[in-house]
Structure formats: structure tokens, C-alpha cells
Amino acid sequence: MGGKELRADLARAERLTPILTKQLRDAEKMASATVRRLLETEEARGLIDPTVAESSLTEGRAERVMIWRDIGGPLCRGLIDWHGPALTDVWDIKTTGVSLDDDTLSKWIINIGHDVQLGLYRRGLHALFSELAGRFRWRWIFVEDAAPFEVRVIEPTPGMLDLADRRAALAIEKWRRCLEADRWPGYPPVNSQIGAPDWAVERQLRIEMEDDDAIVDLAFMGDAADIDRVRQEFVDVSPAEQTAAGRAACAIDANRNSQALGVEGLLKADDASRFEIAPEEGAHDRCMIIDDVQSAILDPVAQRNHAAHPHSLLLRSGDLVPNPRPENVRKRP
């Protein structure tokens, strides 16, 4: 056992918490910054007597343990970060690396499950202090874990309290049922899909409406099901004539005439896209269309099946392997 491990074990034996010097200094800076900001916050000013301590809460009790038997029988336990000054004042301190704006905090509280903790602790408080049921005030103290250690005091709305109570009740019931059946199911073994949440779509719409740089060309947006597909086939092209990576794109004009890709003479008829393809163009002009039509026209763009090589699209090719050899190319009869 090394010297560091031995010192850490000795500290734990004395009911102390071993911590690196740098981490201790950072924690002290965070505590001092938090106290200063709480003294500026009317709701939290009563937690601190500045004549007693400059970097800690003084008015109330820290880390109070609650143990209660909930409805249905499960034994529950909770640890209140700070209780006081009044018996109805409950404070929960959270350090975080996320932004402390309202939008981010509301999502973070739900996603992390802080609302479930709120609902469970409210059940414990009501069970242990039934005469004060309905009178408790819960407040979060959110502290950024990096300088300058910004602080916000957040009190849940009635809607948040209702959601917290409902989610906690469901969690308790599931826990009880799992205990009785000794069965702890996980996620269902099915293929699932995840879509963009409404809040993300709404935020992007706001950005596009307010940001001058958020310009979206609708000509490149559409349903992939509306795009003709081209099946992947090898064609009778000697590797000495060209490589798979050496094809250039060819444009069509605003009337969509005369500059189409020259692939009709190289691909089978059932491989061709449904738009007209002229054979006059050179043998090297296939794989991409640049359409200068101003309106949102998606028909000329062909969507291919999986490429013969996983990186062929990076090589400007969707139908041949890179650096083909004669044995890679199927000859037509």
C-alpha cells in the first residue's frame, strides 16, 4: 500500500474525507462564492450569519436523515441537504456544469430526476411531520462547478410539484411491485425510434427566425421517398480507362436539357433513373447532378442503395469499388 492510500485510509478511520489540496482549494472557492451570492438573494439571506462564517450556511441543520415507511410498505430513506431556519424550509444544493438559464434547468431537473427526488422527499416530510403537511417550501440552490461559480435559487412551481408527486408515486409503486415479484425488468427488447423532441424543433425554428445566418435552402429538403432510386450494378469499364474516384460532376441548365449525365450508354436500362439521360456526354460524367433550377426540384437527384465500398461516396462514387481491378468488374455477355 502506497503512502497516499495509507493516509487516505487513516483519514477515513477518523471519519474525515480525504481530498487533494487543489480540489480542496477549488471547493473552498466555490463555497465562498456561493455564500456571497446567497447573501445577495433575499430568499436565501436568512441561511447565513456573516458574523459567524464566511463560507458556510449557519442557520439550520445540515444533512438530516429521513427514514419512513411509505404507502404500500416500502421502507424509504432521504438526506436533506439543509433544513431551516424554519422547520418548513427545505433546501437542496446541486452543483452542475450545465447553464443555469430557465430553459436548461427545467429540462435538466426532469432528465436527471431531481423532480422525482423532490416528490419522494415531500412524501417523507409529510409522513414524519404530518402536522406540517402542505406547508413545506422546497428550494434548489444550483451552483456552477467552474469559476465564477454562478448561483441561482429556484423554487418549483405548483405544476412542477404536481408532476414531482405523480412521478414519485409511480416510482414507489413500481419499486413495491418489483420487490414483491423479485423481478426487475429493463428496456423492452424491440427496435425503437427516437424523434426530435418538440422543444428542440421549436428552439430551431426560433433560431432560424431570429438569426440572420440561419438560411435554409428548401430545395435541398424533402422526403427521401420521393427520390428515384438507382440499383447498384457493375459496368463494363476498364480500370485502365478510369478509376472509380476520378469522375467529375456535370451540370444541367435551367430548362433541364442537353447537359444531363452520360450514363445511358453505360448502365442497363433498369438501372437508369426515370428522367431522360442523354448518351452524348463523356463516359466519365456520372454519379452527381448539379441542378441550377431555382425552384425546389428534387426529381433529378438519384438516391442509391448501399455502395459497393463503405467509403465510395467519399471517393465521389456510388457504384464501383475504389481502385477496381479487372476481376472486380463483371463483363457483359
Q: Which tens digit of pLDDT belongs to each residue from 139-196?
A: 999 999 988 899 999 999 999 999 999 999 999 999 889 988 999 988 889 999 999 9
Domain ranges of the chain: 3-181, 216-333
Q: How far is CA 145 from the centre of its chain?
A: 20
Strand extents, DSSP E, 239-286: 250-252
d(CA 227, CA 301): 7
- Could you tell me the fold of the domain covering 3-181? Lambda Exonuclease; Chain A (3.90.320)
Dihedral (Cα; 28, 30, 36, 37), 10-degree rounding? -170
pTM: 0.56
State residue 132's pLDDT score: 93
Give the chain's residues under pLDDT 50: 218-220, 242-251, 258-333
State residue 113's pLDDT score: 94
State residue 188's pLDDT score: 87
d(CA 210, CA 208): 6
Q: Are 291 and 273 in contact (CB under 8 A)?
A: no
Assigned C-alpha cell, 223: 422526403
Assigned C-alpha cell, 177: 411491485
d(CA 257, CA 255): 6
